[in-house]
Structure 1
Amino acid sequence: MDSPVNVSTVLTLKGFNLSSVGVFPAFLFSTLSYLTILFCNLTLMLTIVLNKALHQPMYLILLNLPINDLTGSSAVFSQIMKETLTNSGTIQYTACVIQAFFIHIYATGSVLILTAMAYDRYIAICCPLQYNAIMTNANIMRLITAVWLSCFILIGVLFYLLLRLPHCRSEISNTYCDNPSLLTLVCADTSINNVYGLVVVAVTQLFANGMILYTYLQILITCFRSKSSDTKAKALQTCATHLTVFLLLECFGLFTIISYRLQNLSPHFRRFLGLMALIFPPALNPLIYGLKTKEIREITIHSLRKKIHSF
């Protein structure tokens, strides 16, 4: 017999089991983590926006990465900081759905933005003579629009399929809300949701990994054929930076997806993996690009020195 539909708008988050002693350290850690992510990503964004030397296709596409990282981080940390401070263990159903929606936008956006950046590097290194003709401002805007539109359509359909179903449970065994957690509340057949979710993951991963594998093979071939050691070194350094960020994201994402499929896995470890996937990439991405990309590094250091000397 089916359970009655629960019309309660308040959900219980079982992932938070903080003692009175642990509330302040947890709040301090989450606040400092978010402030670090905010500072690093805003610094990268402002460096690109305020310096005309960086108004190039590569950096205009890169600009979307910190925007996307802040979207995911803000969705997660706003709830975590509130919860660690109040220790209420509850969240409104609407707030939970909104949080989950933006977390999935972040996850999909990260993959597609990095794929777009790989395409840009492929054109720049393998087709340098056609680069300015292909990567015009209009085409860059089309590429960026296609990335964000794809994110909102794919995730919009995912949450339409979720919201059409009634829910009869109110406990989420996680520290934040996402689609798998919300599906555990549903008291109806979720086969369509599960199939669609797996198809979205499979298609985006196959597209992203296929595109990056192809572009990087072509880039490596072009670099090894090049007679200019400076060009080769610069190209490989740029690609290494991009590949580091992509592999970091893929590893955390893969571990998180697998953790939901392993029933015997400790729920505490699953929560830890989920949080790490939402903390580490947004914190490390701007640092990796800032330290490894010569133009960004030099402009950032020069700006900081001017600020220090002005005092």
Structure 2
Amino acid sequence: MINSTQLLYFTLSAYVDSGPFRYLNFVLIMCLYVLIVGCNVLLIVVICVSRSLHEPMYMFLCSLFVNELYGSSGLFPFLLLQVLLDVHVISAPLCFLQVFCVYTYGIVEIVNLAVMSYDRYVAICFPLHYNALMTSKKVAVLIALTWLCPFVAIVVLLALSAPLQRCGNTIDKVYCGNYAIVKLSCSNTSLNNVLGLIYTVVSIVIPLCLILYTYTKILEVCFSGSKVTRQKALSTCTPHLASILNFSFGCCFQILQSRFETSRVPAVLAIFLSVYFLTCPPLLNPVLYGLNMSSIRNALRRLLCGGNTNPPTDLFSSAFYS
């Protein structure tokens, strides 16, 4: 067992020595982070200042963009510091704080996408009852639960992981992960492992099943309706489906890398896969929704050009995310 002084920090061993290229890596990571922050903040501002976008669907989108900022901020400032250092260590409290940020980001993301799929299901399958079913109070409750439940769940998870007695302090990642910390423990971790698997099922599998169910119903409506309705529904669902697939791939990479031996995977590829779900969704989601949803594009154009930001909307465009 290592002595108690070593338990005050963890060593991150997955970093590759890039020599003089560390400064180039710093600039590239900084540019990526600035781009993520700029895109997400811009769309949040557009939704907040445009009253025409004060609809349930855009409130869920705003929650999604806030989560992108939250998740990327839990990783990028830390990476910017680490790429310039020769010794890659992190104090135990900061390590657990990073675990909290990364894990809550992941759960909020998938739950938010599931809530958005439910909203689209109501809008497409029950368009005449959309306003009655998706009231402002219900939207507020859904957004609050989307954030509150993951925060409480991860606090419980970390409360069980933090007191574990550890026999090592080396984490084979570029950032902290709960399972990587649990594997360092000398004590019985059965409860941690079971709880981790339960969390994985509840936070990922159940939301994905809800998404699958809602899109099954949406496809039934699409194929039974007119060509115009089908094209309208499919076009408005495309950004959401792309977001789901993108984040699902990232989660799969993260789970497989955490639970299975990946020593044979090239170091650079392993690093890319480990940060994929914290990098690609925050970068691509603003592009997907900003470019594909005409209502957001028009509101952004009006905001930048100083025009009227409050044009009238109709029920059909609201329900179908035009």
Normalising by the residue count of structure 1, what TM-score does the alignment of the two structures yield?
A: 0.92
Task: State whether residues 101 and 178 of structure 1, in contact with CA within 8 Å, keep that contact through their aligned partners in structure 2.
Answer: no
Report the Cα distance in structure 2 between the residues aligned to 1:21 and 1:118, rounded to whole angstroms.
46
Contact residue 2 and residue 168 of structure 2 kept, 8 A: no
Unpaired runs of 5+ in structure 1? none
Determine the structure 1 residue equivalent to 2:30: 31
Secondary structure class of the residue paired with 2:140: helix
Cα deviation, 1:186-225, whole Å, max 9, x if unaligned, reads: 2212221111111111122231121111111111111222
Task: Output the amino acid matched with 2:14.
Answer: G
Superposed CA RMSD in Å reads 1.8
Counterpart residue type for residue 136 of structure 1 = T
Identity, % of aligned pairs? Answer: 35
**Matches for 1:215-294 after TM superposition, within 5 Å:** 215-227=214-226, 229=228, 231-264=229-262, 265-266=264-265, 268=267, 269-294=269-294
- Residue 60 of structure 1 is matched in structure 2 by 59
Instruction: Give yes or no for contact 1:100–1:178 (8 Å, CA) kept in 2.
Output: yes
Counterpart Cα distance in 1 of 2:18 and 2:216: 52
Q: Is the 8 A contact 1:5 1:166 kept in 2?
A: no
Q: Does 2:298 align with 1:298? A: yes
Q: Do the aligned partners of residues 4 and 80 (structure 1) sit closer, same or farther apart at CA in structure 2, a change above 3 Å counting?
A: closer
* 1:134 Cα deviation after fit: 1.3
Q: Deviations over 1:144-166 (max 9, x none)?
A: 11111221122122111111212
Question: How far is the alpha carbon of 1:177 from its aligned partner?
Answer: 0.8
- Output the CA distance in 2 between the equivalents of 1:182 and 1:267: 22
Which letter does structure 1 place at the counterpart of 2:62?
Answer: L
**Corresponding position of 2:176:** 177
**1:17 match: secondary structure:** coil
Tell me the CA shift for residue 7 of structure 1: 4.2
| Alignment check: 8 A CA contact 1:125 1:219 kept | yes
Partner AA of 1:239 in structure 2: C
Between the aligned partners of 2:143 and 2:257, the Cα distance in structure 1 is 31
Q: What is the DSSP-based 3-state SS (H/G/I as helix, E as strand, rest coil) of the residue aligned with 1:86? A: coil
Gaps of 5+ in 2: 308-322
Q: How many equivalent pairs are there? A: 304
In the other structure, the counterpart of 1:127 is: 126
Q: Confirm or deny: 8 A CA contact 2:246 2:281 kept in the other structure.
A: yes
Paired residue for 1:150? 149
1:34–1:284 CA distance, 2 compared to 1 (3 A): same
Deviation at 1:85, TM superposition (A): 2.7
2: CA distance, partners of 1:54 / 1:244: 22
